[in-house]
């Protein structure tokens, strides 16, 4: 006998996306397209694109192409066999960062399990290109789990990102259904390994999840405890929104009060910074979290090196 799937709940009134087709939004779009760059803002259909591009003039650059080697059931990025890496992409991203006058740039990626280093070398090259053009810009990277390739992680750490992020995405019980090619324990190990270099090779660690996939609030709090045990500094939590009918359905929508409760639990667990809300995504208001970490790490070797680099000015 076939099981009848429960109907997807109706999207509540408090989840509203503001359309702001401003001059700044169009300027960011023109610059990104002119340099043949991909952004996760567009590829993942981020609900905050009009706010970030229009008012904050920020973008999250998705490097290494627009085709992912994994088949996560929540993500709208194209799946399949990726093409070759573009050797000009690091310079183009750096040009866009300089052209936009960014103070905080975010780089993410499609999974590149087809590459021996998971794309770590390309990440490092892009960080280096940004630093040469805009040395005072903070760089945040949102990386894959690298399939547990810790040599590849070292390559990224050596490039010295201000924030190293890797998203947990969902609670442990749902990993097989939501992100079947990932391993919960591997995610935690990557974050813990990166955290050991806070203040020396990187500035901070960060992770985020979606809710509304069928987890309980207790499971979310357990996950937050696991992240703190891995010494994660910054935590984000937002509502899962189904990209298309081919993706996992929304099981329920969290209320603003529930998101505020999760924010409070995060503070109790002593994350340095917590972003919690229906439309929160990993890089939403990323500069705020980085500000908090910069104040915390004042005087560290990492911050001293950053100030020296900024004082020296652009290379060339």
Task: Please state whether beta strands 273-276 and 104-109 pair in parallel, antiparallel, or not at all (unpaired).
Answer: unpaired
HEC string for 116-144: CCCCHHHHHHHHHHHHHHCCCCEEEEECC
Smallest Cα–Cα separation from 60: which of 16, 132, 126?
Answer: 126
23/122 Cα distance (integer angstroms): 32
Least confident range of 10-24, 151-165, 177-191: 10-24
Higher pLDDT, 308 or 284: 308
Only one residue has tokens 């503001």, namely 18
Higher pLDDT, 26 or 248: 248
278/245 Cα distance (integer angstroms): 20
pLDDT at 40 exceeding the cut of 60: no
pLDDT at 61 exceeding the cut of 90: no
Tokens of 230: 């891995």
Q: What is the DSSP string of 181-198?
A: T--HHHHHHHHHHHHTTB
115/133 Cα distance (integer angstroms): 27
Q: What is the pLDDT of residues 248-280, one digit of tens each?
A: 889 999 999 999 999 999 999 999 999 999 888
* Residues in contact with 11: Cβ distance below 8 Å, sequence separation at least 6, in sequence order: 250, 253
3-state class of 176 per DSSP?
helix
**pTM for the structure as a whole:** 0.85
Only one residue has tokens 């996760």, namely 40
pLDDT score, position 131: 94
Smallest Cα–Cα separation from 253: which of 75, 46, 14, 74?
Answer: 14
Query: Mean pLDDT throughout 14-42?
Result: 62
Q: Across the chain, which distance is largest between two alpha carbons, in Å?
A: 71
pLDDT at 55 exceeding the cut of 70: no
pLDDT score, position 50: 46
Least confident range of 212-216, 263-267, 282-286: 282-286
Q: What is the pLDDT of residues 291-300, one digit of tens each?
A: 777 777 777 8
Least confident range of 99-103, 158-162, 254-258: 99-103
* Mean predicted lDDT score pLDDT of the chain: 84
The answer to whether 32 touches 96, Cβ cutoff 8 Å, is yes
Reported as a pLDDT band with limits 50, 70 and 90, residue 101 is confident
13/253 Cα distance (integer angstroms): 11
Smallest Cα–Cα separation from 137: which of 293, 26, 290, 301?
Answer: 290
pLDDT score, position 83: 82
134/37 Cα distance (integer angstroms): 18
Q: Regarding the domain delimited by 23-312, which CATH topology (the fold level of the hierarchy) does it fall under?
A: TIM Barrel (3.20.20)
């Amino acid at each position: 006998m076939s099981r009848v799937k429960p109907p997807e709940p109706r999207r509540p009134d408090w989840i509203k996306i503001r359309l702001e087709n401003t001059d700044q939004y169009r300027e960011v779009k023109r610059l990104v397209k002119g340099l043949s760059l991909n952004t996760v803002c567009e590829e993942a259909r981020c609900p905050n694109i009009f706010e970030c591009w229009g008012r904050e003039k920020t973008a999250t650059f998705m490097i290494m192409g627009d085709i992912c080697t994994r088949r996560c059931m929540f993500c709208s990025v194209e799946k399949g066999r990726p093409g070759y890496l573009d050797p000009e992409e690091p310079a183009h991203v750096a040009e866009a960062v300089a052209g936009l006058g960014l103070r905080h740039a975010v780089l993410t990626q499609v999974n590149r399990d087809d590459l021996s280093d998971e794309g770590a070398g390309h990440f490092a090259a892009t960080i280096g290109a940004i630093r040469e053009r805009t040395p005072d810009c903070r760089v945040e990277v949102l990386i894959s789990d690298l399939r547990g390739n810790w040599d590849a992680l070292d390559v990224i750490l050596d490039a010295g990102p201000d924030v190293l992020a890797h998203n947990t995405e969902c609670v442990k019980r749902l990993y097989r259904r939501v992100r079947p090619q990932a391993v919960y324990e591997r995610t935690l190990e990557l974050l813990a390994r990166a955290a050991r270099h806070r203040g020396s090779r990187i500035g901070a660690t960060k992770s985020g999840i979606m809710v509304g996939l069928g987890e309980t609030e207790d499971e979310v709090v357990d996950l937050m405890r696991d992240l703190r045990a891995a010494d994660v500094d910054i935590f984000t939590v937002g509502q899962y929104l189904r990209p298309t009918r081919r993706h996992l359905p929304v099981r329920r929508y969290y209320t603003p009060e529930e998101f505020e409760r999760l924010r409070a639990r995060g503070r109790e667990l002593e994350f340095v910074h917590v972003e919690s809300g229906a439309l929160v995504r990993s890089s939403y208001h990323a500069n705020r979290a980085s500000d908090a970490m910069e104040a915390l790490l004042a005087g560290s070797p990492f911050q001293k090196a950053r100030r020296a680099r900024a004082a020296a000015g652009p290379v060339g």
